[in-house]
Structure 1
Amino acid sequence: MSAIILLVLGLGTMFLGYYFYSRFIAEKIYRVDDSRPTPAHTMEDGIDFVPTNKFVLWGHHFTSVAGAAPIVGPAIAVIWGWLPAFLWVTLGTVFFAGVHDFGAIWASVRNRAKSVGALTGDVVGKRARAIFMIVIFLVLLMVNAVFGVVIAGLLINNPSSVVPVWGAIVVAFIIGQAIYRFKLNLGLVSLLGVVALYYLIYIGPSVPVSLPPDVLGLAPNAVWILLLFAYAAIASLLPVWMLLQPRDYINGLQLFVGLILLYVSVLISNPTIVAPMYNTDVPAGTPSLIPLLFVTIACGAISGFHGLVSSGTTSKQLNTERDGRFVGYFGAIGEGALALATIIAASAGFASLAEWKTVYHSFGQGGVNAFIQGGGAILHAGTGISTEISATMLTVMAALFAGTTMDTGLRLQRYIFQEWGEIYDVKWLGKAFPATALSVITCLILAFGAGGASGSGGLIIWPLFGTTNQLLAGLTLLVIAVMLVRQKSPTIYITAPLTFVLVMTLAALLLQLKEFYLKQNWFLLGLDIIVLIAAILVTLECISALRREKRAAALVSS
């Protein structure tokens, strides 16, 4: 089967979803109203609250939510066959992710740009807020610690990517100055920025950078992790317009250029999908397709982390309510397009089924390496770009998006600590520097405390990321549903996806509970129990609030 068929069907479905379904959700369900001033205007401070051009904000939002997850998840899930992954990515993007991301922005903007955790206290209750914020903290801890490890591994395995990855930070800083300080034309600045990024990718292979095997007693992996967190701490404290926003924006443009090249290469080379449509011969130890598919592919279909970004940084920069449709829903479309490209690369980027099976010899294999290997082969066949530069381009793409997610994730973790400071009246915790320091320290404790000198401890709790992340998505949808009842909007377009997500997530948590017990992995078993109890308690609180609001609405109408 030709990969072109997947490309056309996938992108076509997403385009129709944005053009028709997102407009219906905006006008009939969320009822966006541009006459209502957004917090970016009413609370403008030049640091976190900044009214932003919707195209620039889309770049920030999209690259913050994308990260490496829409590459890793789909590239692993292809082991069950390309069809289940393709269906979940395309339909999940249209009916789940877009509604969730757009809704989280809308809900936050309507409530002084509060994060979804703090918002839960107002909409549902204080008990739900306390439990919900613990779940949020765990998700952010996993994302930040693991992405630090992932980026470090990419830099070590691909020395040609070091100069482009770190050079992109300098390019982003210059772009921020050009747009906001010197008011230069956005189109011209964007063009020059993309050219600069791709020039860095071009020269990357000629100036590879590798750290010595021992730096003050630390392995290269540990050194990169420390440098990444030092950078992320600084980036999280700077005004969003100075580095975070332009970095995300220019990375978003870079990704779309990369995606266009990859998709054009598919059209030119017309690769054949060698992976099975539905794999009936999965390797031993591979878990069942249902429910694990729906937590393995999180970003790229629906992801709770997106709600944190939507209500954490994006809502503070939204210029008008109507911009939320473009930024949130179309941001989900962008990530779906990346996940679709990953499925094509991991299904059609290999010479034969035998070669594909060599990569997918056990569950968890594939991931970023399958995307780089398969995508690089397709790029080379379609454009003639050397395999080395193709691999560097895709490696940089993965590293840059993991980095932008880590930037935003650490800033969001800082917000959580600051919100705790406000909730429990701990004044010093409400300040930016102590909150940032605690965010970095907790991530490093996980990375080095659980992983030793290598700093790989974040990977220990990664098996729980998918379930915890999807749980967060379901709970965010519950909060949105309660708000819709209050404004007397239909809720079925929210309650249908949230029911599906919660059922699949709880089933996955129970399966993992059994697996951790059989393997006697007591740390993950205990953490799984905590997440499971938190899920049940918050779900019950939200359902109670939903019923309460419906009864109140019925009394008013009668």
Structure 2
Amino acid sequence: MYTFLAGIALLIIGYFTYGKFVEKIFGVKEARQTPAYTHQDGVDYLPMNTKKNSLIQLLNIAGVGPIFGPILGALYGPVAFLWIVFGCIFAGAVHDYLTGMISIRNRGAHLPELAGKFLGKVMKHVVNAFAVLLLLLTGTVFVTAPAGLLNNLMNGWATMGLILGAIFLYYIFATLLPIDKIIGRFYPIFGALLLISALGVGAGLVFTGAPIPEVTLSNFHPDNAPVFPLLFLTISCGALSGFHATQTPIISRTTQNEKQGRNIFYGMMIAEGVIAMIWAAAAMSLFNGPVGLNELLANGGPAAIVSEASTLMLGAIGGTLAILGVIVLPITSGDTAFRSARMIIADYFNYSQRKVTNRLWIALPLFVVAFGLTKIDFTLLWRYFSWANQSTAMIALWVGAMYLFIAKKNYWIAMIPAIFITMATTTYILNAPIGFRLPINIAYIGATIITVAVIVAFFYSARKQRAANIPLEIDISGWDKDSVA
């Protein structure tokens, strides 16, 4: 219990301390107009207040990641708490803040465009394809997961096909309509439901004296469960997630002032970390250790853990409300995953999104592909999602480090987590069954060589770009917003 409570406290303290430190390094410009005003189009670019943007950002980035990931990560024991807390403060929240703020400085650009500007033109094409793949996987995962929960909640009253169809129908409207029509109106309500459900489960754990394990030297490295790199790929959302780099530009296009960035981007990642801590603690303490947890996961997956934990902590009615909150969570990330994919493809081809027919031409093929992916086993999808997710986080952190290096600011705040996740991700790819299947010791050596090569390439490119004095932000002086496509 002490590790859990201390972790929650550290996350909150991290927002007020390290969050301010990162904000100071970046250097906000309150007088600078944001894309919400300079590019206002009534669809994707329009100003919304801090409270609304914060709740939308939280729901965008949360998904099932900070619930299902920590539940699966609970198999590694309380060491998962350390990754959630320190990963969130020093990596995940920094990742989200820099991605969002650099996007604001570059007319709300998405990660592929930022990667092309700061890491080279070839990276724009690579990251564009990679980001769309990640978003398709994310959207699909965030269809199948809530559909399974709804099916369980209704005791099979509605078929999975009918539930999937209803969710996809909602996604179509949320992807195509202006952001303030559905997302802007209903997300504050969904956000309240999410927070109430998570805090309810957390309070239940504390007040019932649930046996939440403590971190000790004996359980720091559980038997038959190598912590590195698997833990850092299993728990992504809630600690560090590349999916967030695809979501922050949605809100960078609706942010009113740069000063709001710490609350919206850094702060909401901290809130996601709290949610992740709660569900990791629930999974560790309520099911007779790893053996019982493994059995329940084998029979019903993470969704079964959510249902059981919610009912145990909050009773039948409260548990049902909590489950509804968890169902809302992935749905409100799935819709913005498809919305983000539409925006990325539109930006790549410079295809105007003012007309709904233009949005439809891009969105419909995405939904057709995603529907086909729902036929694939969820566990397999999650493995590929985790790999693609952390690879995207790696790219986004290197973009942040490059931006700060060129600006002659403290780039280590982004570079240190970039190096760490590069090492973890490449080790996983070299060792995993879905990768090259190399022995773990060989994978460590190979990942070290690749990581060192990336560092060398970074400094070589960074010095060239600093010497070339490339512009870090798009000049908005005299911008005619009516000319924006």
**TM-score in terms of structure 1 length:** 0.76
Q: Deviations over 1:529-550 (max 9, x none)?
A: xxxxx99999887565324234
**What is the CA-CA distance between 1:246 and the residue it aligns to?**
2.8
Correspondence for 2:369 among 419, 442, 463: 442
The answer to whether the 8 Å contact 1:149/1:458 transfers is yes
Q: What is the aligned length?
A: 456
1:358 aligns with 2:297: no
Deviation sequence 1:299-357 (CA, Å, 0-9, x none)? 0000000011012x11111110011100001110110010010011112224x44xx52
The 3-state SS of whatever aligns with 1:70 is helix
Aligned to 1:301: 239
Q: How does 1:252-401 map to 2 (within 5 A)?
A: 252-273=191-212, 278=219, 288-311=226-249, 313-350=250-287, 352-353=288-289, 357-361=291-295, 367-379=302-314, 386=315, 388-401=316-329
| CA apart distance, 1:128 | 0.8
2:25 maps to 1:38: no
The CA RMSD measured in Å over matched residues stands at 3.0
8 Å CA contact 1:419–1:430 kept in 2: the answer is: no
Offset of residue 472 of structure 1: 0.4
What letter is aligned with 1:68? V
**Conservation of the 8 A alpha-carbon contact between 2:135 and 2:338:** yes
In structure 1, C-alpha distance between the alignment counterparts of 2:183 and 2:329, rounded to whole Å: 12
Give identity over the alignment, percent.
25
Q: How does 1:423-438 map to 2 (within 5 A)?
A: 431-438=358-365
Match of 2:172 in 1: 233
Q: Using a 3 Å threshold, how does the CA distance of structure 1 residues 489 and 426 change in structure 2: closer, same or farther?
A: same
Q: CA deviation at 1:445?
A: 2.9
Contact residue 304 and residue 470 of structure 1 kept, 8 A: yes
CA contact (8 A) 1:479 1:542 kept: no
Cα distance per residue 1:185-213 (max 9 Å; x no partner): xxxxxxxxxxxxxxxxxxxxxxx7812xx
Of residues 130, 133, 136, the one that matches 2:131 is: 136
- The separation in 1 between residues aligned to 2:127 and 2:323, in whole angstroms, is 35
Structure 1 distance, partners of 2:107, 2:452, is 28
For 1:225, the aligned partner's letter is L
1:112 aligns with 107
Matched, 1:545 2:467: no
1:447-480: per-residue Cα shift (whole Å, max 9, x none)? 3xxx2xxxx4665433121121011011001111
Instruction: State the distance in 2 between where 1:482 and 1:281 align.
Output: 37
Counterpart amino acid of residue 15 in structure 1: I
Instruction: Tell me the alpha carbon deviations over residues 392-430 of structure 1, each in whole angstroms, 9 at most, x when there is no partner.
Output: 12321221000000110010111122123228x999999
Deviation at 1:551, TM superposition (A): 4.9
Q: Secondary structure at the match of 1:97?
A: helix
Decide whether the 8 Å contact of 2:93 with 2:266 is kept in 1.
yes
Q: Which amino acid in structure 2 is aligned with residue 461 of structure 1?
A: L
Q: Is the Cα contact below 8 Å between 2:4 and 2:212 reproduced in 1?
A: no
CA contact (8 A) 1:60 1:246 kept: no
The alignment partner of 2:228 has SS state of helix
1:426, 1:403 → 2: CA distance? 23
1:205-224 matches, within 5 Å, as 210-211=157-158, 220-224=159-163
Counterparts of 1:516 and 1:427, CA distance in 2: 44
Indicate how the Cα distance of structure 1 residues 280 and 38 shifts in structure 2: closer, same or farther if over 3 A, else same.
closer
Q: Which region of structure 1 is more displaced relative to structure 2, 509-518 or 414-423? A: 509-518
TM-score (norm 2): 0.86
- Secondary structure of the residue aligned to 1:45 is coil
Which position in structure 1 is the counterpart of 2:148?
153
Note the residue ranges of structure 1 that are not aligned, 5 or more in a row: 160-207, 212-219, 380-385, 519-533, 554-558
- What is the CA–CA distance in structure 2 between the aligned matches of 1:500 and 1:290, rounded to whole Å? 11
Which whole-Å CA distance do the structure 2 matches of 1:281 and 1:240 have between them?
A: 45
The one of 67, 73, 93 equivalent to 1:71 is 67
For residues 298 and 111 of structure 2, the distance between their equivalents in structure 1, rounded to whole angstroms, comes to: 31
1:414 aligns with 2:342: yes
CA–CA distance in structure 2, aligned partners of residues 12 and 542 of structure 1: 35
The unaligned stretches of length 5 or more in structure 2 are: 439-449, 470-485
Task: Note the C-alpha offset of 1:262.
Answer: 2.5
Query: Quick one: which amino acid aligns to residue 394 of structure 2?
Result: G
Residues 516 and 485 (structure 1), Cα distance of their counterparts in 2 relative to 1, 3 Å cut: closer
Cα distance between partner residues in 2 of 1:336 and 1:471: 20
Instruction: Verify the 8 A CA contact 1:467 1:505 in the aligned structure 2.
Output: yes
SS of structure 2 residue aligned to 1:422: coil
Contact 2:149 2:303 in 1 (8 A): no
Change (3 A) 1:361 1:290: farther
Query: Residue 120 of structure 1 contacts residue 129 of structure 1 at CA under 8 Å; is this kept in 2?
Result: yes
- TM-aligned CA distance change 1:209 to 1:247, over 3 Å: farther
Q: Which moved more, 1:43-52 or 1:335-344?
A: 43-52
CA distance in 2, matches of 1:44, 1:428: 14
Q: Is the 8 A contact 1:420 1:430 kept in 2?
A: no
Structure 1 counterpart SS, 2:44: coil
